Structure 1
Amino acid sequence: MIRLLSRVIRYGLRAYLLMSAALLAWTFLWPDPDPDAVQPADAIVCLGGGMSPDGTLAQAVLTRIERCVQLHEAGIAPFVVFTGGTAAENGPDAGTQMARFAATLGLPTDAAVVEGRAQSTLQNALFTFDMIPAPRRIVLVTEAFHLPRSYASYKWAAWEVGLPSPSISLVMSEPVRRDPVSGTPNWRILARESLAIWFNLGRAVAYSVAPDPDVNWLH
């Protein structure tokens, strides 16, 4: 038993290190987007990524919104889905706050669709598909380090709700958050993401195999 446990730990550590290395490569080697090279889609999805209880959006989220507006102006999709829930009970939801900021950048109000319940990437994916009629192609916009988990989450969610697997284009808003003074990458958030990938996998599997799953499990 001890030998088996040691082997499991050893292989688990190797898998984690390999995933972490792949995440770093993805983060720093993913190319800057060229809007003209992005395939037309049914919708652009802007993922929430940080908001204070009073509704102030993190700078990284503002950058995501700017990228989505840029893609919409390039004619990539007819509307943008802004997805993100509340940071405090009875507080504003991120989806609404994101849509409001997008409006200040020139996005028409009828081109903004708000999803304001999601508290995780898995919930982003599940709830977003309620907002897009028969999605065949979507564009996901987030930071480069978050793109792999977002892609997997949306593929899983399409399967979970019984939709044909959509084609997903990945567009980064920026590689990774950096210290505004020194410009050094936020290594803490990269380490957290390397763990979140496995955590999301476990939650998605548990949700899929449970006979009567509760969507709050994916919080």
Structure 2
Amino acid sequence: MFRTLRLFFSCLAYAALAGTLFALGSALLSPLCRDLIGSQTRYDVIVVLGGGGMENGALMADTASRVDAGVALFQSGIAPAMHMTGGVNRPIPFVPTAEVMKDRAIASGVPASTITTEGLSRSTLENALFSKGDLDGKSLIIVTEGYHLWRSWLSFYWADMQPEGMCKPHAFHAEGWQRSARATVREALALWFNLARAVLWKVADLFGYPHVLGSYFLH
């Protein structure tokens, strides 16, 4: 019994370590968006992922920085279109994060006609799955926080899209090291949680029964 418990907790410790290294690798090794400005590589769409919803009707600092980084890429000519993805994470105001992200991009000079939105998702897996209708068959560059990039890329790959690029506005949270530390721990846990959900969803979808898992399964 003791050996079994020790093995169990050892596995948990190794999983936590692997998740933390994954998040840190994503944060530290992924390219900064500003370093891609001037690149000759071109994409069809810049995909900006919302994070953390809104606070008092305004975008959280991390989401705002993602939008600004995406706008800078758009204005550099790296892609002719943008896609904002993010649903309602808080009941008040009942406005999808993606719509507020779009408004911010428009205020920065991006034409409204070049922006699509997805406003139902509440998780990274849903960001990818619910955006597929707008993005399928297009070359993509993903913009999100550094620690979140690798998991985001995997989520879009899981949804049968293959992003060709990705970048971060900054490696960690703009709001300081404490927020960055919490986000890294959360990302380490989310990696395995999302992996389990993604596998179960794919198995259910393979047999034609994803609805059995319920509408909240991927939240």
Which SS does the other structure have where 2:164 is aligned?
strand
State the AA in 2 paired with 1:206.
L
State the AA in 2 paired with 1:132.
L
Counterpart Cα distance in 2 of 1:57 and 1:121: 17
Counterpart Cα distance in 1 of 2:199 and 2:180: 29
Q: CA deviation at 1:127?
A: 1.0
1:155-174 alignment runs, 5 A limit: 155-158=157-160, 165-174=161-170
- Is 1:103 aligned to residue 102 of structure 2? no
Q: Which residue of 2 aligns with 1:67?
A: 69
Point out where structure 1 has 5 or more consecutive residues left out of the alignment: 159-164
State the AA in 1 paired with 2:170.
E
Q: Indicate if the aligned counterparts of 1:51 and 1:57 stay in contact, CA closer than 8 A.
A: yes
Which SS does the other structure have where 1:92 is aligned?
coil
Change (3 A) 1:155 1:215: farther
- Is 1:39 aligned to residue 41 of structure 2? yes
Return 7-16 or 189-198, whichever deviates more.
Answer: 7-16
Q: CA deviation at 1:111?
A: 1.0
Change (3 A) 1:28 1:34: same
State the AA in 2 paired with 1:17.
L
Q: Which residue of 2 aligns with 1:186?
A: 180
TM-score scaled by length of structure 1: 0.86
Q: Indicate if the aligned counterparts of 1:178 and 1:184 stay in contact, CA closer than 8 A.
A: no
Q: CA deviation at 1:17?
A: 0.7
Counterpart Cα distance in 1 of 2:22 and 2:119: 32
**Identical columns (%):** 31
Point out where structure 2 has 5 or more consecutive residues left out of the alignment: none
Q: CA deviation at 1:206?
A: 1.5
Change (3 A) 1:69 1:124: same
State the AA in 2 paired with 1:47.
L
Q: Indicate if the aligned counterparts of 1:55 and 1:91 stay in contact, CA closer than 8 A.
A: no
1:105-144 alignment runs, 5 A limit: 105-135=108-138, 137-144=139-146
1:37-66 deviations in whole A, cap 9, x for unaligned? 362112110000022365311011111111
Higher relative contact order, structure no. (Cα contacts within 8 Å, ≥ 6 residues apart): 2
Computed over aligned residues only, the root mean square deviation of the Cα atoms, in angstroms, reads 2.2
Q: Indicate if the aligned counterparts of 2:25 and 2:147 stay in contact, CA closer than 8 A.
A: no
Which SS does the other structure have where 1:147 is aligned?
helix
Counterpart Cα distance in 2 of 1:52 and 1:171: 22
Counterpart Cα distance in 2 of 1:42 and 1:167: 10
1:150-171 deviations in whole A, cap 9, x for unaligned? 011000011xxxxxx4242011
Q: CA deviation at 1:184?
A: 5.8
Counterpart Cα distance in 2 of 1:172 and 1:134: 23
Return 68-77 or 91-100, whichever deviates more.
Answer: 68-77
State the AA in 1 paired with 2:191.
I
Counterpart Cα distance in 2 of 1:4 and 1:39: 52
Change (3 A) 1:194 1:91: same
Q: Indicate if the aligned counterparts of 2:88 and 2:94 stay in contact, CA closer than 8 A.
A: yes
1:174-199 deviations in whole A, cap 9, x for unaligned? 1111446xx66621111111101111
